[in-house]
Amino acid sequence: MPPRALSPSGLFLIDKAEGPSSFAAVAEVRRRTRARTGHAGTLDPFATGLLLVLSGAATRLASCFVGLDKRYLTTVDLTALTGTGDREGEIVERVEAPSEVELEHRLEALRGKVELPIPAASAVKIGGERAYRLHRRGVVVEMPLRRSRVDSLEVISYSDGIARLDLRVSSGTYVRAIAAALGGHCATLRRTEVGPFRVEEADPDRLISAEDALARLAVGQGGRQKP
């Protein structure tokens, strides 16, 4: 197979729909452009929202776009815990939903720097194998902790044990882990921002040049680009 083309080169902002994997979304861009294509961070199939897809020669700049802070909107069901921390896992325990006061106590404990277990259905490798593959086979393993930063964690609404939350977090933060720590599971998840890029800008037909994309990173970091 001949090497993929180095053009068109730049950044596509894609609003991923619920259902397809991030890799399927990237493959669709590759099919349209016939160029080398890569992503700067995935979303679970049940999640929606912003994907940064690099095209052509711009794929060599992936390290500049990986590791950016993220913003999410999520709905957390605080009446049940699941094995995966999201709605795709089996319910392992039914619980009584917290009061609004108790919910705020739980939220406060999760703001700032936190250490939470990586979800069992994640792509992290355990003993050389992806955790989600072990989970699907019913293999129970002790998941490692991951340190992350929660810059804001605010309630949009709360009713009948269902909390709608707005989060700003560091890269690598698992929203499913936050949902589990709150005593429930993630029912919906939408990524609305990645660094300076917003989902409202998403357009599969619009290619942002590498120069413009890097300039936006520099502005977002006070004039300092990531190395």
196 Cβ contact list (under 8 Å, min separation 6): 216, 217, 219, 220
Section 42-62 average pLDDT: 93
Per the annotation, the verdict on 86 as an active-site residue is: no
Read off the pLDDT band of 50 (50, 70, 90).
very high
Q: How far apart are CA 60 and CA 120, in angstroms?
A: 31
- Looking at residue 138, what is its pLDDT? 65
pLDDT of 220 above 90? no
Identify which of 169, 215, 174, 177 has the alpha carbon closest to the alpha carbon of residue 194: 169
207 Cβ contact list (under 8 Å, min separation 6): 8, 10, 11, 12, 55
Ranges 39-48, 50-59, 160-169: which has the least confidence: 39-48
Q: How far apart are CA 30 and CA 38, in angstroms?
A: 9
Read off the pLDDT band of 227 (50, 70, 90).
very low
Q: How far apart are CA 101 and CA 219, in angstroms?
A: 39
Ranges 34-38, 42-46, 53-57, 137-141: which has the least confidence: 137-141
pLDDT digits (tens, 9 = 90+) for 173-199: 999 999 999 999 999 999 999 999 999
Q: Are 143 and 55 in contact (CB under 8 A)?
A: no
- Looking at residue 89, what is its pLDDT? 86
Section 139-143 average pLDDT: 65
Between 123 and 90, whose confidence is greater?
A: 90
Please pick, among 15, 44, 77, 86, the residue that the annotation labels catalytic: 44
- HEC readout, 187-221: EEEEEEEECCEEHHHCCCCCEECHHHHHHHHHHHC
Q: Extract the tokens encoding 126.
A: 């355990």
Q: How far apart are CA 47 and CA 20, in angstroms?
A: 9
Section 96-112 average pLDDT: 97
- Looking at residue 121, what is its pLDDT? 65
- HEC readout, the chain: CCCCECCCCEEEEEEECCCCCHHHHHHHHHHHHCECEEECCCCCCCCEEEEEEEEHHHHHHHHHHCCCCEEEEEEEECCEEECCCECCCCEEEECCCCCHHHHHHHHHCCCEEEEEECCCCCCCEECCEEHHHHHHCCCCCCCCEEEEEEEEEEEEEEECCEEEEEEEECCCCCHHHHHHHHCCEEEEEEEEEECCEEHHHCCCCCEECHHHHHHHHHHHCCCCCCC
